[in-house]
Structure formats: structure tokens, C-alpha cells
Chains A and B, each alone.
Chain A
């Protein structure tokens, strides 16, 4: 997206069009000709998977909205009408509900990929920050969407979560009332959540545009963390190399997604949501969708309501300043023996928090949640800054091309280049 386009339209119409609106050149430069490191592994395919799911959610959502009625007396029944009487309505609805889950699974893998390979570091700080904003808007979108089927968990989930804002002094209660459009979750809440649930995905589209724009200035990071030195030696054009590789990964991920849709469509959902919302009956356990559970655990780990809410926001807020908390110059965990271990502990802690978020907030669970919450913050605020100072990284390869050659060095057909003094540290790691 920067610099002079190399795109040359061949037809007269193409030339006429391009000289007035260079949109084909833009597509050419960003999606076809874009120089991409040749050593990206499959963890780099999740960006494409995420884009696919955004489009999928928007398409299934718009068609669902043609049959859905955002009114407390009809919402639950209209979703059931979609399931029973609309042609392939069951497919749309199950695809949209499970699509949201897969979207989050993909974004978590995408984020942890960034953490492992240090993708947030200079010069990609802004790219990372836009990513965190995308994640926040995704969460808001899914939270509001979950109210729409107007089941018991929809109603009580929204009640509990909006209620947390009442923890703020003075402004708390007015905020809650403003969010709900009344004193309790009711028809005005359903109406505004539907309206916003329709809006925020398009905000996401805009943010994703910025994300990709910010990506195309420095280009992709890569598993070695060594920046591209020579476009000729280190990169391949995005098309056909990564269009094909990404498409393959998308199809594989679709198989997982559609397996849920067709064979276990309610596995990730809560049974209580097949009971229509009833303000007079509280479900035994109110749990959010699985993708919110780690934050729910952090929220409930704090005895003080306001403290819990602040800590929950801080748990995502800390990601914004991560590029400045990490003091190491080396990007990839492959070359950071200590960080690599702490990374996997952090993954385990995050999953542990998710597990605890689904358990009742009592006894040992609370204690465990407190310990893991403390560790979660310590990872970013203490471990990351210190590691960069004390860790002795392994020797980095000179370039991507070198690293690739070394990896293939013992391969008889390996391009003839003798393995150099710079060994590929990954194989020894």
C-alpha cells in the first residue's frame, strides 16, 4: 500500500479505469504481489481464517436478521421459527452461533501466535494495538448477539454483566440504566443490542482494513523474527504461494467448524438457552460463553466488585502496553530459551482461568482463580520486563534465506549451498 504500484493494466479499459481509480493496483499490491517471507508456518494462516469468519458471520447474520424479531414477546419464537420453518434456517442459525465460537478460537490462536513470535514488537506496535481493539469490538459484538435469542442464559448473562458497571461510584447506576435502556434488561435492551449487533461487525470490517494496512507497511513478521533483508532471497509473492496455503488452511478449519455445525451444533452452547427468558426464575449457574470464561474468572477472583471490574478491563488493557513491557530485542521465542518456557506457562494459566470461570465462585476455585489472576498480571508486568534484561538469547540467523538453507542443509537436493557457520538454532533448541 506504500510506494509506487508495479501494477500494469493490460487492457485499454483497465488502463482507463486504473488512471482514474487505482483500485486494481491496490488489490494487486496488497493481495497478489505483496512480498511475503517464505518461511511462514501454519500459525500464520489464522489471519485469513479470521477474515473468512468475519465475512461468514456477516452473511449468516444478515440473512438471519430477515427472519428475526427483536421483541421480548417474539424473539425466542422467531429464532425457533428460523430453526423449524425457514428453508435451511437451522443451518444459518447453527452456523452463526458456532461461527462465533470458531471466530474466537481462531482469534485466540492468532493472539498467542503473536505472543510467541513477538509480533507486537517494533515496528508492529500499532498493528498489534489495532488487533487488540478488534478483539474488544468482537467481544462486544458477541456479547450483544448472545442476548438476541432471548433464552434464560441470554437474559441472565446480560443482567449480570451489565450489572457490573454499577460498581463504579456515582456514574455506575446511570451507566447501567443507560446500557439497558431501563432499570432491568427488557425490550429496550433487546432493541438496542440488536441495533448495535448489526452495526459493530461493520466497524470490525473497517478496523480489519486498518489492521491490514498497518501490516503492509512493515510486512509480515516470521518465525525467525529476523526482518526481511532481501525481497529477492527472503520472500515470495503472496499469490500464488500464500493464497493457496491460506486457502488450504481455511478449508481445514472449515472442516472443524462444520463438524460442530452438522454433528454437535449445541455442544458449545448452554442448555438453559433453550428455555425462554424468565425474569422470575434465576438459573442455578449463570455462565457466559466459553470464550469469556477467563475474564469471568478474573472478575470474580476479586472480593471487591469495583476491583474485579477494573482488573477485568486491565487484563485486556495490559495488552496495549505489551510492546513497551517486553524489553527483549529478540522477537521470536524460538531464540529466547527462558521466554519460551514462560510463554507455555502463560498459555496454561490462561486455560486454567477459563476452566475456573466455568466453576462456581467458591472455596478452592476462588483461591486458585486468585493465584492464576496474580500470575496473569505478573507475566506481563514483572516477567516480561525482567526476562529481556537477564535472558541470553540464542544466535539469530543472518537472514531468512540463510535460516531456510540451513534447515534444508542436510537435504541432498538442498540447493547446493553448504551449511554455514550459522546453524539453525531451532533444530538444536
Chain B
């Protein structure tokens, strides 16, 4: 029996290995490996860093939002548990900074009003054509899900934002309006380096270096892509503990039951 047990175990492991191998498949072997950061939201107990999320929102709003939309988010999300957790008052004020088109009113006219927490994030451009026209033909993608839409999302984004090189290596001919960034597929990106030292004024004493600005905005974008991460992990921990104990009890009961039988 022992031999065949090893054999069948090997079969199970092999089946698992088959799953493990597949995600490797789509990785492109070009450019340097991503810079690796210790993100607070990784691991079984990982949570977002509130301060970083709040700073990250400001980086997004003051820099990225002039080109990138975030259509899946509403201002109210900024006060939800597990996110930046601005107070409701703060969120009302943040939303009111934007003008939102509403209507039609009783006269059938569209009108502008101050933003409300229930409004979606205001987009910089009315449509894709306008976005391309302002960016030399390139389309700045919506950032709502960008962290989940790229392999190794957080590290990739951080590497991209901090990885620009002013002078491309010899022999590389940059296209019109292109910038050299070895982390981007093809190494030429239409987005100019968006962040510079002190691009955003921080009020909590954090140094607004390019690294910190990048880290904060990536943290914010990671939350935007996966807003229920904290709820998921804390529930998951409880559920798994419960199931592991249940499995232990069932194992014991099963053993006891079968001890009466030669099998």
C-alpha cells in the first residue's frame, strides 16, 4: 500500500504543479525585473496603510487625474471602511471641489453643480478621442483596475513611475513625444515622467520624494482595484480557522468510527 500511496501523492502534487506553471506562461522576457517593495497589504494579515492611501489620493487628484479617469470609483468610496477612510465631512468637501454636469432640470436644460459623495470620479476628458487628442495620440488608460490588470501590479507600477531614464541607451531611437522607460513593454512610453520631487505638497511630514509619491499613489490604486481586500482577508482568516478545527474534529470522529472496522 505504501508504494502506491507515494505514487498517488505524487499524482496530486503533479496536478497542483500543473496549475502553478501556467501563470508563468504569459510573462514577457524583456526589460529589467520589477523593483520589489514590501507592501503592507500583502500576506494573510495585510492591510492598507491609511496615511499612505490618503496621500495617494491627493497624488492621483493633483497629478494623474489631469490625464487618467477612474470611472469605477465614487467619492463616497473614499470614506468606506478598508479604504482611505476620510470622514464624511472631508469627502463632501473633496467632492465639492469638482463641477459635475447634471440634469435635465424642469426646463429640460443640463446644468453644472458642485460634486456630491454619490458622484463618480470626474473624468478629465469627455471621450476617448479628446483624451488621445491631448496626449499626442496615446490613450491614458482608466486607472480603476490598473493594479489588477498588470502582472505583479504594485511592483510594476512603482517601477514604471520611478524607472524613467532621461537618456536612452545608445542605439535607441525615441519616437516623437516618447520617453524612455525600461519597465514599459517596448521601453518607449507616451506618458512623460508624471512625478517629480515635491510635485504634491504633503502636510503630514512625509518627504514628498519621487519614491514616496510613487509608493503612495500605487497604494491608492491598489485599494481602488481591490477595495474589499481587508474585509476579505479578515473574514478569510476566521473561516479558515473554523474549517481547520472542523477538519480536525472530523478526522478524529472518522478515525474513531472506522476503528471498529478492518479496512
**Which residues on A sit within 8 Å (CB–CB) of B244?**
255
Would you call A284 an interface residue if the criterion is a C-beta within 8 Å of the partner chain's C-beta atoms?
A: yes
Would you call B110 an interface residue if the criterion is a C-beta within 8 Å of the partner chain's C-beta atoms?
A: no
Binds B, one of A170-178, A190-198, A260-268: A260-268
From residue B252, how far is it (CB to closest CB) to chain A in Å? 10
Would you call B170 an interface residue if the criterion is a C-beta within 8 Å of the partner chain's C-beta atoms?
A: no
**What interface size band does chain A fall in?**
35 or more
Q: Which of A77, A271, A284, A348 contacts B149 (CB 8 A)?
A: A271
Binds B, one of A19-27, A199-207, A236-244, A319-327: A236-244
Would you call A359 an interface residue if the criterion is a C-beta within 8 Å of the partner chain's C-beta atoms?
A: yes
**Which residues on B sit within 8 Å (CB–CB) of A375?**
none
Q: Which of B10, B11, B15, B72 contacts A80 (CB 8 A)?
A: B72
**Which residues on A sit within 8 Å (CB–CB) of B12?**
109
Most central of A101, A262, A340 by chain B CB within 10 Å: A262
From residue B147, how far is it (CB to closest CB) to chain A in Å? 9
A347 to B9 Cα, complex, angstroms: 12
The answer to whether B3 and A267 touch across the interface, beta carbons within 8 angstroms, is no
Q: Which of B15, B22, B233, B235 contacts A108 (CB 8 A)?
A: B15
Would you call B37 an interface residue if the criterion is a C-beta within 8 Å of the partner chain's C-beta atoms?
A: no
From residue B106, how far is it (CB to closest CB) to chain A in Å? 29
Query: Which 6 pairs show the lowest CB-CB distances between chains A and B?
Result: A262-B236, A358-B25, A274-B149, A248-B250, A290-B22, A274-B148
Residues of B in contact (CB 8 Å), total: 57
The answer to whether A262 and B240 touch across the interface, beta carbons within 8 angstroms, is yes
- Of chain A, the residue at the smallest CB distance from B153 is A271
Q: Which of A108, A344, A355, A427 contacts B2 (CB 8 A)?
A: A427
The answer to whether A259 and B240 touch across the interface, beta carbons within 8 angstroms, is yes
- Of chain B, the residue at the smallest CB distance from A84 is B227
- Of chain B, the residue at the smallest CB distance from A354 is B18
B residues sitting closer than 8 Å to A (CB atoms) are 1-4, 7-8, 10-12, 14-19, 21-26, 28, 44, 72, 77, 144-145, 148-151, 153, 185, 225, 227-228, 231-233, 235-237, 239-240, 243-244, 246-247, 250-251, 253-254, 257-258, 261-263
The answer to whether A261 and B15 touch across the interface, beta carbons within 8 angstroms, is no
The answer to whether A408 and B253 touch across the interface, beta carbons within 8 angstroms, is no
The answer to whether A426 and B14 touch across the interface, beta carbons within 8 angstroms, is no
The answer to whether A240 and B18 touch across the interface, beta carbons within 8 angstroms, is no
Would you call A163 an interface residue if the criterion is a C-beta within 8 Å of the partner chain's C-beta atoms?
A: no
Q: Which of B1, B3, B8 contacts A116 (CB 8 A)?
A: B8
From residue A233, how far is it (CB to closest CB) to chain B in Å? 10
Interface residues of A in 199-233 (CB under 8 A from B): 223
From residue A40, how far is it (CB to closest CB) to chain B in Å? 8
A residues sitting closer than 8 Å to B (CB atoms) are 38-39, 41, 43, 77, 80, 83-84, 90-91, 94, 101, 105, 108-109, 112, 116, 223, 236, 240-241, 244-245, 247-248, 251-252, 254-255, 258-259, 261-263, 265-268, 270-272, 274-275, 284-285, 287, 290, 293, 333-334, 340, 344, 347-348, 351, 354-355, 358-359, 401, 404-405, 407-408, 414-415, 424, 426-427, 429
The answer to whether B243 and A414 touch across the interface, beta carbons within 8 angstroms, is no
The answer to whether A241 and B258 touch across the interface, beta carbons within 8 angstroms, is yes
A83 to B231 Cα, complex, angstroms: 12
Q: Which of A245, A254, A354, A407 contacts B258 (CB 8 A)?
A: A245
The answer to whether A348 and B7 touch across the interface, beta carbons within 8 angstroms, is no
From residue B247, how far is it (CB to closest CB) to chain A in Å? 5
**Which residues on A sit within 8 Å (CB–CB) of B18?**
290, 293, 351, 354-355
From residue B240, how far is it (CB to closest CB) to chain A in Å? 6
The answer to whether A258 and B240 touch across the interface, beta carbons within 8 angstroms, is yes
A340 to B8 Cα, complex, angstroms: 11
**Which residues on B sit within 8 Å (CB–CB) of A407?**
1
The answer to whether B148 and A266 touch across the interface, beta carbons within 8 angstroms, is yes
Beyond A255-B247, A407-B1, whether A77 also contacts B72 by CB under 8 A is yes
- Of chain B, the residue at the smallest CB distance from A272 is B149
Beyond A84-B228, A245-B258, A284-B28, whether A251 also contacts B250 by CB under 8 A is yes
Beyond A354-B18, A404-B263, A405-B262, whether A244 also contacts B25 by CB under 8 A is no
The answer to whether B232 and A287 touch across the interface, beta carbons within 8 angstroms, is no
From residue A240, how far is it (CB to closest CB) to chain B in Å? 6
The answer to whether A334 and B254 touch across the interface, beta carbons within 8 angstroms, is no
Provide 28 A-B residue pairs closer than 8 Å at the C-beta atoms, listed in order of the A residue.
Answer: A41-B8, A43-B8, A77-B72, A84-B77, A84-B228, A105-B15, A116-B8, A240-B257, A244-B253, A244-B257, A255-B244, A258-B236, A262-B233, A262-B239, A263-B233, A268-B19, A268-B22, A271-B148, A274-B149, A275-B149, A284-B28, A285-B26, A287-B26, A293-B18, A344-B11, A348-B14, A351-B14, A429-B3
